[in-house]
Structure 1
Amino acid sequence: MKSFIIFIILITLSLLLTGCWGAKKIEGEVYNTALGFDYKNGKFEVYTQGLNFGNIAKQEGVKIEDLPILIGEAKDENILSAYGALEQNTSMPLSLGHVKAIILSERIIKEKMADVIDIMGQSPNLRYNIFLFGTKENLKELLQTHSFFNYSQLYSIIHGPDELIKQNYSLPVLRYNQFTSRYYRPIGTIMIPSLSIDKAHFSEGKSKQIAILNGEYIMSQQHYKGWLNKEELYGLRWFSKGIRSFNVRVATKTVAVKIKNPKTKIVVLKGNQPSYRIAVKGQAALYQNSDNKTYRKMRSEINKKIKNDILTTIQKGDKLNTDVLNISEKSYKYHLKHWDIGAIRRFNLHSVKDIKVDIKIIESGKYK
């Protein structure tokens, strides 16, 4: 009898232990890795990109290129109901826990950003550190672009742009938490990186369709301002943090240098209206000097080009009635007692009184 009682107690205790009885097999769900949102004819279009585990880890005897990317597509009057239509018509549960990027059409950015913010707030599985992009491309085609060497698309700029932009890339990327922290700010500009499809520069037996950054969508004070291409935003690189180096070509591209760890300082000048002085300093390694120019001449041309790049970007922003380089933010952060918001918002091309660039050539690139 005593043994029977002990047996009952043990069985009861074992039932109280937590276990994995409700766990799902990892291959039993569709793991969405990117989402795309568009708006046409009064309806939202939702696209999902799902990757097979074979897309992520190479399997013996299986080529990545033989494993297609799963694209979901649905439309409805709001984003949530469109995604719900996908869930109702899938043969496997859809998971949002692994989404790394959201791509917005130009129409969404212009007209429906409030709906994107709403869906991000409603979904507990969408993380705030995901990347945010815009595009003029067909979303379905963009989500089916390739990576190199038959690797998963997880090794593309859509899912992992951080390392790429540290190496000679002039356009910054944006995470959703950075977007929300600036969206309601009364001063400054938000830039949503723009994706396009490049079909001309790489091939592996056949042409590769690669997602690339080609510009930025400009927003300020919750309003869409316009779009600027990569060349118009060259001045932006000197205000970007965390960038290791930039390649710069001058003198009809006969002189090439790599500028390492450039530093830019914005000085606020006191007066009736806020104005600014910009100083850029850095060191450069010389990699090309086809015309055998003197160091003094090369240095002068490099400094002139960088100054012109900054001025061009400021001018382009001025035409959009916005401070693309966020120069006026320094007044907002540190000098609100001196000027009100209205005065700081009146930033324009003439607010920048001086730009000084001092890049010193300290190395000559030598052959090994």
Structure 2
Amino acid sequence: MRKLRIFMILITLSLLVTGCFGAKRLEGEVYITALGFDYKNGKFEVFSQGLNFGNIAKQEGANIEDFPILIGEAKDESLLSAYGELEQTTAMPLSLGHVQAIILSERIIKEKKMADVLDIMGQSPNFRYNLFVFGTKENIKELLQTQSFFNYSQVYSIIHGPEPLIQQNYSLPILKYHQFTTRYYRPIGTIMIPSLSINKDQFSEGKQKQIATVNGEYIMSQQQYKGWLNKEDLSGIRWFSKGIQGFSVRVGTKKVSVKIKNPKTKIVVLKGNQPSYRIAIKGQAALFQNSDNNTNGELQSVLNKKIKKDILTTLEKGDKLNTDVLNISEKSYKYHLNDWDIGAIRGFNLDAVKDIKVEIKIIESGKYK
């Protein structure tokens, strides 16, 4: 009787313990971390980048070569059927819950295939709306095989984590999928899709590294492709980007450098028959390099003229593409629809910007340790 009682207690306790019935083994699936879409010769191509947990959590003493990147590719007449081809031929189930980025080929963007991308993204409940969107004219398969530093996983690259780099030292904006879908159908303004290239020349670890980097932006407006602009063309866009806490600027020559902290940009809408705008930029800067021993007053004047010139350069580049690349007209669309119709607001051009006033003050000098 005593043995029976002990047996019954053990059975009861075992039922109280939380079980893992039906749980999937981590190594039993392929975790897709990025997808690439292309369109060539009348067919869509889908590329998938798969990483296992050995890639993501680098084990002590192991090289990243021990955990290769798995690249899948398939083609068909639609993106959905091409991805279905991947699922039907894989040796392990594909999991889309960890996708962090989608990469669109230049052909997808130029040949008006964005509706197909939106369709496949809307078909799966596993896609998150905060994943990053990129464009490229590179071979997507090669781009998905680019590397990070120090044998770390590719998840520590700009494809999967561009935000820290953008906040620190990039001047080009990043794009998330929810921002893309919001702007794609908006009758006003511009979408900028970051353009990825492969840097094969500047970094090496025993052998040359191939690093993904952002080199420009694809410009779209009202669901139409407008063109491509490089970093120099978009030098004025940093003053209209949110979330950037500070960045360094070369003033005049490479012997002078300042760091600008939390600049504030204000767009004022001016009334009239057509909408027009005044731009005002204010901020403070710290002087970090001044080999020519210029006075703060001299440097402030040169700095403010440079910023104004950068903004005008970007406005001119956008004007040639017949688009409001800095999205200045969105201010009228959001707050002044009672004053002008959509057609008038869409008519934004370089002449609509009546004044650009820049007041960046150098308030301190950088000190050497």
Smaller-chain TM-score range?
over 0.9
1:326-341 superposed matches below 5 A: 326-341=327-342
User: 1:252 Cα deviation (Å)?
Assistant: 2.5
1:209-248 superposed matches below 5 A: 209-248=210-249
Larger CA deviation: 244-253 vs 338-347:
244-253
Unaligned ranges ≥5, structure 1: none
Aligned partner of residue 207 in structure 2, secondary structure: coil
Aligned partner of residue 148 in structure 1, secondary structure: coil
- Provide, for residues 257-290 of structure 1, a one-character-per-residue CA deviation record: whole Å limited to 9, x for no partner: 1111111000011111100000111111111112
Q: Which residue of 2 aligns with 1:261?
A: 262
Query: Aligned equivalents of 1:242 and 1:353: distance in 2?
Result: 27
Unaligned ranges ≥5, structure 2: none
Q: Which residue of 1 aligns with 2:202?
A: 201
Which letter maps to 1:148? F
User: 1:170 Cα deviation (Å)?
Assistant: 0.4
Larger CA deviation: 143-152 vs 246-255:
246-255
Query: Aligned equivalents of 2:227 and 2:247: distance in 1?
Result: 26
Query: Aligned equivalents of 1:18 and 1:367: distance in 2?
Result: 59
Which letter maps to 2:134? F
Q: Which residue of 1 aligns with 2:293?
A: 292
Query: Aligned equivalents of 1:93 and 1:18: distance in 2?
Result: 26
Query: Aligned equivalents of 1:18 and 1:321: distance in 2?
Result: 62
Aligned partner of residue 171 in structure 2, secondary structure: coil
User: 1:300 Cα deviation (Å)?
Assistant: 0.6
Q: Which residue of 2 aligns with 1:311?
A: 312
1:119-130 superposed matches below 5 A: 119-130=120-131
Larger CA deviation: 63-72 vs 273-282:
63-72
Q: Which residue of 1 aligns with 2:360?
A: 359
Q: Which residue of 2 aligns with 1:60?
A: 60
Q: TM-score, normalised by structure 1?
A: 0.94
Aligned partner of residue 235 in structure 2, secondary structure: helix
1:84-163 superposed matches below 5 A: 84-110=84-110, 111-163=112-164
Q: Which residue of 1 aligns with 2:81?
A: 81
1:43 aligns with 2:43: yes
Query: Aligned equivalents of 2:60 and 2:271: distance in 1?
Result: 67
User: 1:19 Cα deviation (Å)?
Assistant: 5.2
Which letter maps to 1:176? Y
User: 1:182 Cα deviation (Å)?
Assistant: 1.1
Q: TM-score, normalised by structure 2?
A: 0.94
Which letter maps to 2:247? F
User: 1:184 Cα deviation (Å)?
Assistant: 0.7
Aligned partner of residue 50 in structure 1, secondary structure: strand
Q: Which residue of 1 aligns with 2:70?
A: 70
Which letter maps to 1:302? L
Query: Aligned equivalents of 2:66 and 2:249: distance in 1?
Result: 40
Larger CA deviation: 30-39 vs 80-89:
80-89
Aligned partner of residue 232 in structure 1, secondary structure: coil
Aligned-pair identity in percent equals 81
Aligned partner of residue 84 in structure 2, secondary structure: helix
Q: Which residue of 2 aligns with 1:34?
A: 34
Larger CA deviation: 63-72 vs 324-333:
63-72
Query: Aligned equivalents of 2:161 and 2:72: distance in 1?
Result: 22
Aligned pair count reads 361
Query: Aligned equivalents of 1:286 and 1:62: distance in 2?
Result: 44
